[in-house]
Copies of this chain bind each other. A is one copy, B any other.
Amino acid sequence: MTTKPSKITLFGNRFSGHAYKIALFLALNKIPHNYEAINLSQPRGERPEFFRKHARYGEVPLLIVEDKAFVQSNAILLHLSQLFGIMSGGEEKARVNEWLMWEQSRLGSSLPNLRFEKKFKTNSDPAVQAWLKARLLDDLAVLNTHLTSGDGFVVGASPTIADCSLAGYLFWLSDVDLAISDWPHAQAWLNRIENLEGWKHPDKLMTQEKPV
């Protein structure tokens, strides 16, 4: 473990599951930090100058550790797990990385994009929604099947950053008119996450100025 950083600031938004992944990691591990809300309804060019300067892709989450900027939710999780020496999966690190990559391209893409189309976009195209929903149903089936034979969490018997990542948007599954109870192994796993000390629902965690 490296020396613990003295100052961490998370720039997030309460509608972003990608930001929630980081807030969840910090909450579960009781890591003191500041939280700054970014208004995503503001045009990119009008967002705070500090945020625009450091968020390479213009998105939340942005994490500042001391004076260094980190972006991309799953890359931030990787960095934090290495920095603090926790939740990396240890010898199963390669498996954790595989699930982080799968999340980026599948569940962490299909679900937030469908949610955006349904909840936030005007004139969303039904064909696009159908395409995203078909992918999401595939993704939920893959995750549910994997968790059938799991040891409790996505990789092994303890939570890793893969759990923080994959759970990112799932507490909002009702926003796309689906119920996690249709995927009972995934539901049981989400319940295990909810029972971890420090867990909070994204609607609760992301509205606080200082979540810890």
Contact = CB atoms under 8 A, between A and B. Distances in A.
Interface of A: 56-57, 70-75, 78-79, 94, 97-98, 100-102, 104-105, 108-109, 125, 127-128, 131, 142, 146
Contacts of A72: 97-98, 101-102
A98 B71 contact: yes
Interface of A is mostly: helix
A142 B71 CA distance: 15
A84 to B, nearest CB: 14
A162 to B, nearest CB: 11
Give the number of times this chain occurs in the complex, counting copies.
2
A166 to B, nearest CB: 14
Contact of A94 (B75, B105, B128, B146): B75
Contacts of A108: 105
A203 B74 CA distance: 32
Most buried by B among A100, A108, A109: A100
A73 B101 CA distance: 8
Contacts of A56: 98, 146
A150 to B, nearest CB: 12
22 contacts: A56-B98, A56-B146, A57-B142, A70-B94, A70-B98, A71-B98, A72-B101, A73-B101, A75-B94, A75-B98, A75-B101, A79-B94, A79-B97, A101-B101, A104-B105, A105-B109, A109-B109, A125-B127, A125-B131, A127-B127, A127-B128, A128-B131
